[in-house]
Amino acid sequence: MTKKWRIRNKYENVILFFNGWGMDHSAVDHMQSDHYDLVEFNDYRTIDFNECEYSHYEKIYVVAWSLGVWVASFIFNRSSLAISKAVAINGTPHPINAKEGIRPSVFEGTLKGWNKSNRELFLMRTIGAKSKYEAHATIFGKRTIENQKEELASLYKQINVHKDFEFKFNTAIIGNDDAIFTAQNQVNYWQSKTYCKFMDLPHYPFLQLLSWDVILRL
């Protein structure tokens, strides 16, 4: 697991952001953060988390996007850190699930067929349109096809072993236009568990959600 501090030792509170699969820090480098230290996690080929690094903060906030929602659930299900608020965005803790996540056949097909051309098609669906992808391609970083495929294979194995968590998200932001985790499947998981905030967002939400303060207020 890769960790990148964007702001460190400046504020009393911290945001722990769990990025989506295949991403790096470029996905959120443009985001505003005026009141929090901020650390971003990605590349979940291995999952290692040292909670001692964050125990001195007055308040700890968790924001997780896409498959990062499962990663955060896995980590904090067994963590002793006191989380002040947790926000899930366009993802669920059951990411390989026909009714509450991504259909297993689709997940497996993405893994088996991952190559350059399929990645471009996937990212177009992620951001909502070909024109948006062409205008903002740099936000999806520079990770290699091989690296991303290894990560997805590792997540596939881990997700199929670790499925039930007690960690609670306070808010689930659900993108009405999400073509990866459909809005209906997100609703199927979250509606009886937490507050759901519906927004007109594609799977990648950070062209509309531009501030961490805004996210934490939802």
Per-residue pLDDT reduced to its tens digit, 145-157:
999 999 999 999 9
CATH number of the domain to which 17 belongs:
3.40.50.1820
pLDDT of residue 100: 99
HSE-CB of 14 using CA atoms within 13 angstroms:
23
- The pLDDT mean for the chain works out to 98
pLDDT of residue 161: 97
Count CB neighbours of 151 within 10 A.
Answer: 21
Mean pLDDT in residue range 98-121: 99
Distance CA 40, CA 5 (A): 6
The CA-based dihedral angle spanning residues 113, 119, 124, 128, taken in that order and rounded to the nearest 10 degrees: 70
Q: Give how many domains the chain has, as a whole number.
A: 1
Mean pLDDT in residue range 134-161: 98
Closest C-alpha among 23, 22, 186, 179 to residue 111: 22
Distance CA 216, CA 218 (A): 6
- What residue numbers bound the domain in which 28 lies? 2-217
Closest C-alpha among 161, 175, 183, 162 to residue 204: 175
Q: Give the rounded distance of the alpha carbon of 2 from its chain centre.
A: 14
pLDDT of residue 179: 99
- Exposed e or buried b per residue across 102-124, where buried means at least 16 C-beta atoms within 10 angstroms of its C-beta: beeeebeebeeebeeeebeebbb
pLDDT of residue 180: 99
Distance CA 73, CA 39 (A): 17
Per-residue pLDDT reduced to its tens digit, 1-40:
999 999 999 999 999 999 999 999 999 999 988 899 999 9
- Global pTM reads 0.98
pLDDT of residue 33: 84
